[in-house]
Structure formats: C-alpha cells, structure tokens
Amino acid sequence: MSIIVDPVQESSFEKPDRSQLWYRRLLANQQFLLLLVTIAIFVFFAFNRHVFASAGEFGNNVTNFCTLVLLGVGETYVIATGGIDLSVGSTVSLSGVVGAIAMEHLAMHSELLVLSVGTVVCIGIGILVGVVNSALIHYARLVPFVATLVTWGAGAGMCLVLTGGAPIGQNSGAIALTVPKIWIFSYPALIIIAITFVAGLFLHLSRFGRFTFAVGSNAFAARAVGINVKRQVTSVYVLSGALAGITGMFVYMRLGSGAPTAGTGQELIAIAAVVIGGARLTGGSARLSGTVIAAWMITIVSSGLIFMNVSPNYNQVAVALLIATAATAQALRKSARQSS
C-alpha cells in the first residue's frame, strides 16, 4: 500500500549512519569487550601457569563449562522475558537424582538403554519443574522470583528426601563418556555445545526468540499484536527446565551418580553469566553470545584461581567482582547513551 502524506522530503533513513567507524562500533559492543577481557584473563593465567593452556586443562575447562552453559542459556531466555528462574540449580540435582534412581532400576540392561532412559527422565523432570513454575506464575499469580524460589526449595528438599543425603548409583561407564574423545571434547560436551549453538540461533533468528524479547520488552504490546504471552512465558520456563534436566544428566555422567547437592548454587552462577553477558534483568534485551562468553570466563576464572593456589573459597568473590564490573559497565553505557 502506497500512502503519500507529504511528498516533500527526501527520505534519509535509507542511508544508514556510517559516521561511526567500524572499530568504534566494535568497541561499543559489550560482547566483544567481554571476549577481550576473557582472552586477557586466559593469557594472564596461562602466562603464570603454562599448564593452564594445555589441551588437558582445556578439556577440563570445557567439561566444567558444560555444567554451566545450558543453565545460562535457559536463564537467558527467561531473563529476556523479564522473569528469573531460581529453580535451575535444584532442578539439576533433582533430575540427576531421579534419573539415577531410574537408571538403578535398569542396571541389568545395556548401557545405551540405561543412559537413554536416564536422559529422558532427567529432561522430563526438568520440563515438569518448568510447568510448575509457569503454573505458579500464571495461576497462583506469583512473581517469577517467588514462584521459582518455591520450586528451588521444593526441588532441593525432594533431593534430600529421595537420597537421604547420599549420592545414588555408581556408574563408571557414564564417567568414561565424559572423558574427551575428540581433541578436548567429550561426546556429551559436543552435544551440549551443539544445543547451545541451536539455542542461540533460535533466540536471535526465529519468531520464537523475537516473541521472547517482545514479551520482556512490553507484554501489553506483545499481546496487542496477537502474541500469546502466557504460552510464550510457559514455553520459556519449560525450555529452561529441560536444559537444566540435560545439565542434570551431564553432571550425573560426570560424577557417575545422582548427587543431591550437584546443582547447589548453580542458579546464581547461571544468572551471573547472563548478567555479565549483557542481559537486562528487566527483560527485553539479552545476547546468548554474551552468556556463553561469560560462562567461559567464569569457568576459567574458577579454574585459574586454583592453579594460582588461591583458595576455592575466593571463587564466589571473583564472580561477584565480575558481576559488579559488568553491571557497572552496563549502567555507565546506559547513562552515556542517555546523555548523548
């Protein structure tokens, strides 16, 4: 439809603003800066402890990274809608424990069948937690923080009830699968990296991802154009739960057992990765690449501190400093934009 309102002015928007040089735009990109900082941190640790740059240590870091990145991916989706998911840590534990119980019952069968069933059970538990989160938000009218706090507590409690506090199972075959087979990657790690890549494409290049950002930006506007906001939010919490379930299975394979405290505290590290990666906790803005880089940064900082003989207790302090730095940088960039 061609509608001429005032055919007097030549449009200027067709000519994109090229006044900013490419390197200035690059330096204004938070994800690029994050990548530079991550490389600098890596170089610092590698310079001080040469073994930090070895393939073996890289492999360890990839494995550690895989226990965090999918939680960060799910949390990115949730935070993009303006919500938060505190339940992912306990979902990792609960799915691992329930999966371990299921696998214990199938111990006489082939390893492939056992692990396949275990994976399905873990993902199923994650989806169930996501559905409960969504139901609490939409039907009990709880804010996401409280809703997921409820499931976080319930999940952690259920783990202790089911296990009595002790890990379940002893599956050395599963542990063997998490040993790197292709250079620094184990097969499960490759699957997790592939899922992360697909999730990134899905978030930034699909209608589902666009709807996710729209809901977080302005839920009324999203509804006004016909987006089913409830369904979108439900899908995102279910996705986050499912990814936590996959992480639960990966942690089970790594430990060879379902540990009731396997995911303790992981939710906060996942949220930290999302925040450091440049997402706004108010919703509507997030970059999965930022979350992935931040997850890698947190992984190598934790690992590097151990190599530097720093007490592991300082890990949380280091992560807290990273969050503070990222949040401050974000606030400064925002105020600079507003004043310009």
Residues forming the site for other proteins (CB under 8 A)? 1-14, 16-17, 201, 205-207, 210-211, 213-214, 216-218, 220-227, 280, 283-285
* CB closer to other proteins out of 48 and 206: 206
* CB closer to other proteins out of 8 and 112: 8
Least separation in angstroms between CB 289 and other proteins: 17
Least separation in angstroms between CB 209 and other proteins: 8
* CB closer to other proteins out of 16 and 312: 16
Least separation in angstroms between CB 2 and other proteins: 5
* CB closer to other proteins out of 206 and 328: 206
Contact 134, 233 (CB under 8 A): yes
Can you tell me the distance from the alpha carbon of 283 to that of 286, in angstroms, rounded to the nearest whole number?
A: 8
CA angle 81, 238, 214 (to 5 degrees): 20
Which residue in this structure is represented by tokens 């609960």?
Answer: 94
Give 134's Cβ-side CA count (13 Å radius).
21
Can you tell me the distance from the alpha carbon of 301 to that of 157, in angstroms, rounded to the nearest whole number?
A: 31
Least separation in angstroms between CB 3 and other proteins: 5
Least separation in angstroms between CB 210 and other proteins: 6
* CB closer to other proteins out of 181 and 210: 210
Least separation in angstroms between CB 273 and other proteins: 20
